[in-house]
Structure 1
Amino acid sequence: MERIRENDRQVLGELFIRYEKMVNRYVVSNNGSRDDAEDVLQEAIIVLWQKANGDDFELRSRLSTYIMGIVKNKWLAELRRKNRLAAETGPEENIDENPGGLDIMLSNEQAERVRKALDKISEICRKLLVLFYFEERSLEDISRLLGFANSAVAKSKKYQCKKALEKIILQSNSAGER
C-alpha cells in the first residue's frame, strides 16, 4: 500500500500479475472470458489506486480480499448490463448483422409500435421505462429521480409499467395497428 501511495507505477504491473489468475478463474467461471477478466482486473486496480490515494482510505482487510471485492462488484455490474442489453435485443441467434430491407422495415415498425405504446401509458411509467431501458439508469437513481421510497418500489413499479406497455403493444398488434 505504501508503494501505491508513493505513486510507484511499477506496482500496478505487479498487482496485475499477482491477481491475474485469481480474477481470471472468477470471471471465466461466471460466464466471462479472459479478456473480460483482464478488463475487470484493470478497473479494480484503478479503483484501488484512486481509493488508496484518497485522504481517508484505510485498508481493513487483506489486499487480495479488497481487490476481489472490487472485481466481484465490477463483474456483477457488467453481467447486469449484458443481461439488460440481451433482454432488449432478444436471443443472439435472431440478430442479423447485415439486416436486409425487410428486416429494417420490420424493426422500424416495431420501434414505432413501442413509441406509440409509450405515448399511451402514464407519464410516470413512461419516465421510468425510458430511464431504465434507454438511459440505463439504476433503480436507485430512478427511485431518487421519481420520488419512490426505495429501489424495491421502483423495481415493482417498473414491472407494472413494463406489463402495461406489453399489454398495449399486444392490443395494437391484434388490432392490426401499424
Structure 2
Amino acid sequence: MIRIGDGDTTAYKMLVDRHLQPFLAFATRVTGDRSEAEDVMQEAFVRVWKTAGRWDMNRNTRFTTWFYRVVMNLCIDVKRKRKPTSDFDEAFDVQSEGPLPDDMLRDKQKAAHISAALSQLPERQRMAVTLCYLQELGNRQAADILEVSVGAVESLLVRGRTRLAEILAAEKDDLLKESVG
C-alpha cells in the first residue's frame, strides 16, 4: 500500500491481480449479481488507489480485513439502491458455460436456492455466513471485518445456520409437495 501511495502502478497491478478474483467472488455472493459485483470491485480498487497515500502500516487492521470491509459496505450500498426485479426478468439470463446443460441447470437451481435462503437471513448473519463458509475466512478475520467479537461471529453463525436449515427444509417440503401434486 505504501508503494501504491507513492504512485507505483506495478505494485497496484500486483495487488489487483492478487485480490480481484476472491473479492469478486465475495461481492457476487453478497449482491447476487456478477455485473453489480464487477462495478463494486471497480469502485473498491479506485478507493485503494485513492487511500493508499494515507495507509498507516502501524494500524492493527490487515489490508485484506480493511478491503473486505470496503467491499462489503459497497455491496450493501448497491443492494439498498437496487430496484426490485421480478423472476420473469431473470428468466432470460441464460449463459452457455459448463459441460452439460442438465448439470448446469441443477447447479444453478441449487445455487439459486442457497442464494435465496441466504437473502432471507438478517444482514449480519448473512455476512457472517458468507465470510466464514463461502469465503472460507476464519472467525477472527470475520469478526475484524464485521467489527464484532469472535463470540458474536460464532453466535451469528449458529443463528444463521439454524435459520438456513429451517428455510431450506421448508423449501424442500414445498418442492416435494409440488412434485407429488
TM-score (norm 2): 0.41
- Structure label with greater radius of gyration: 1
- Relative contact order (C-alpha < 8 Å, sep 6+): which is higher? 2
